Structure formats: structure tokens, C-alpha cells
Amino acid sequence: MLDVFSRVIKLTKDHKAHLLLICGDLYEHSYVRKSTIAFIGKKFADIMNTKVVIIPGNHDPYVSNSYYANYEWPSNVYILRSGSNKIDFEDLNTCVYYFVPGIKIPPPKNTGRINILMLHGTLDIKMGRQYNPISMDELSHTGMDYIAAGHFHNYFVKEGQCSVYNPGSPEPLGFDEPGEHGVLKGYISKNKDETDMVFNKTALCEYIRFEVVLDRCLSNEEAADSINKAVYALDKHDGLVEITLAGTVEDGFSIDLEAVGNMIYKKVYHLKIKDKTRPCLNIGKLVKDGGLKGLFVENMLEKIKESKKEEELKILRRALDYGVQALENGEIKL
């Protein structure tokens, strides 16, 4: 993580950036060590010609016992917070605002300035409990020239009357964060057409997750063969790879993940294999054997025959699989 942070600082320096905007979750309040903060502070001091503007996030709140409040940051570091949510840089003709949760942002009076809004929150998602939710619609009335966002770990840009730029985390933190990770580097202009931001990869590793579908697989060798083909096709060697085995195995055979793992010859940085295969049902035999299982299969086949909808068919077939599994093993492999 510190290496990636150093990369970001180097990029800032090479770019001779006027501003470095950090939209929250720079560190984890409960776990961060003072030595880490000292490292970060020293790096900021290395780019004294750049103004570093930070806003707090949900992992690094601005509270009385926080490093934001207590640490002696270099003079080029500006930490915005509620109560001190605006900083005007006359020399850059730029004003930077912090979007305080729950407080409406009045459109900036100083329209001659380049007005930048920094926010940390959930954009355009209405389901469930969200941290600091805000919509593109609300943001469109802010009159901002540029909106820098944090919280979501994936990179995206949302175009609108006031476009939102979310670089994501410079380094991915888990298999649920696939794809490239980096920062945004470029120019912000009062004339939005001239604003030019480019995604710059900074991540040291990449999480790659995909499925390998087996069809009536009979042996560990066969499973390993399919995985080897898929892994070989990857053009990345430094990836953290998670493969889910899906599809079917022949009835009676189950995959030995350790044995399969030992047969993967191409080295990747990290490989994790998950088994989500299901046994291929021998329908004819199940019906012939009769009993509760046979009766269940017969009933399900009837329903499948009657069903006309594609989605319903999928569910019924899955129900047939799960039902037989439950009756045979007393548990279901999801």
C-alpha cells in the first residue's frame, strides 16, 4: 500500500500538479499506525509545490482523536471538514469545497473561479443503508466545474451537467474489486470541454475472477486441464486469480481441489479455485429407482414440461438439481 502511495506521489511530482485531491478513506482510523501517518506526511512534504486537499471518509473521520485533527501536517496539506468546508486558492483561481453530508450546497458565488467539489459517498444508489447518499440530479444544481468523488473502489466517470470523477482505490483490496486500479491525472478547466482527465494505472496487482464451466467432468485431470487452458490464456502474470468451477461433474465424482491445484502448471501470483460444480443427474435412473427421490424427479419433470417461460425453466431445473442433492446428501452445494 505504501508503495502504491509513493507511486501516486511520484506521478503528482512528475506531472507538476497544482493540486492533489484525496477524497476520503486515505487511512483506517482504528488501525493506522503513527509511523504510517509519518510516512504519508513526509511524502506530502516532498511535493511542496502541490496543494494537497483531503476530505475525510467513513474510514478516516475527522474526529478529535484523529490524525487529521492532531498530526502536524506539512503546510501544503489542507484538510476540509464540516465547519471548514471550503478553501480558496487565489493563485490557482480555484476554490475547493467539501460536500458535507446532509447539507445542501449553495451554488458558488465566485463564478469566475474554477469551482471543485469533493465528496465521499454513495452516488445514485437508493437501495439499503448507504453512506452519505447523493444523486447526480442533486449534484447537477451545484454549479461546480468539477466533482471529485471517493468511496466506491472502482473507477468511473459520470457525465452530467456537473460530471463526477471517481478514480476508485489506487490498489484493489479484494476479489470483489477486479479490473484495473489507479488514479486520475489531468487538467481541470473552467471550460468543461477543456477538462481532460486520464486514468493512470497505479495498482501493483490485479484481482482476476472468472468461471470455468465443466461438462460432465469425470476426473481431476480433466478439471485441471480446463483450468490450465483458461489460465494460460491470461496475459497477466502478476494477477491474483480466483477461478470458480461451474457446470456439471459426472454423477458420483467429486472434484478434489487440492489435487487439481497441484496440476496447475502456469504460475500466477496467487490462485484460488472454488468448486461450484453440480452432479449431472441421471434422470432415467432416478425415476426408475422410484422412492421419494423418484417421485420428486417425476413431479419436477412434469412442471418443467408445462413451463413456457425461460426464466421459470431455469429456476425449475435448478430446483430439480438442489432437490435431488438435498434428498441424496442432506445438504445443497450452492
CA 49 to chain centre: 32
Binding mask 96-135 for Mn ion (x = CB under 5 A): ----------------------------------------
| Number of residues located near Mn ion, criterion CB under 5 A | 4
Is residue 90 exposed (0-12), middle (13-18) or buried (19+ Cβ within 10 Å)?
exposed
Question: Contact with Mn ion (CB under 5 A): which of 12, 19, 25, 79?
Answer: 25
Q: Using CA atoms, how far apart are residues 29 and 26, in angstroms rounded to an integer?
A: 9
When computed from its CA atoms, the radius of gyration of the chain, rounded to whole angstroms, is 27
Q: Which is nearer to Mn ion, 19 or 23 (CB)?
A: 23
Strand partners, 51: 19
Q: Which stretch binds Mn ion (CB under 5 A): 1-9, 49-57, 122-130, 266-274?
A: 49-57
Q: Which is nearer to Mn ion, 27 or 146 (CB)?
A: 27
Nearest CA to 18 out of 46, 47, 42 is that of 47
The 10 Å CB-count burial string (b at 16+, else e) for 18-46 is ebbbbbbbbbebeebeeebbeebbebbeb
Helix axes 291-306, 310-329, angle to 10 degrees: 180
Residue nearest to Mn ion as judged by C-beta position: 151
Q: Does 60 bind Mn ion (CB under 5 A)?
A: no
Q: Which stretch binds Mn ion (CB under 5 A): 50-58, 106-114, 172-180, 312-320?
A: 50-58
Q: Which is nearer to Mn ion, 43 or 153 (CB)?
A: 153
User: 3-state class of 80 per DSSP?
Assistant: coil
Q: Which stretch binds Mn ion (CB under 5 A): 22-30, 32-40, 167-175, 297-305?
A: 22-30
Q: Which is nearer to Mn ion, 168 or 239 (CB)?
A: 168
Q: Using CA atoms, how far apart are residues 13 and 124, in angstroms rounded to an integer?
A: 34
Cβ atoms of 241 and 208 closer than 8 Å: yes
Q: Using CA atoms, how far apart are residues 280 and 283, in angstroms rounded to an integer?
A: 9
Q: Does 43 bind Mn ion (CB under 5 A)?
A: no
Q: Does 151 bind Mn ion (CB under 5 A)?
A: yes
Question: Contact with Mn ion (CB under 5 A): which of 57, 108, 168, 239?
Answer: 57
Q: Using CA atoms, how far apart are residues 6 and 204, in angstroms rounded to an integer?
A: 12
Q: Which stretch binds Mn ion (CB under 5 A): 8-16, 21-29, 76-84, 230-238?
A: 21-29
Q: Which is nearer to Mn ion, 4 or 223 (CB)?
A: 4
Q: Which is nearer to Mn ion, 26 or 95 (CB)?
A: 26
Q: Which stretch binds Mn ion (CB under 5 A): 54-62, 154-162, 175-183, 285-293?
A: 54-62
Q: Which is nearer to Mn ion, 25 or 206 (CB)?
A: 25
Q: Does 58 bind Mn ion (CB under 5 A)?
A: yes
Cβ atoms of 74 and 107 closer than 8 Å: no
Q: List residues near Mn ion by CB under 5 A.
A: 25, 57-58, 151
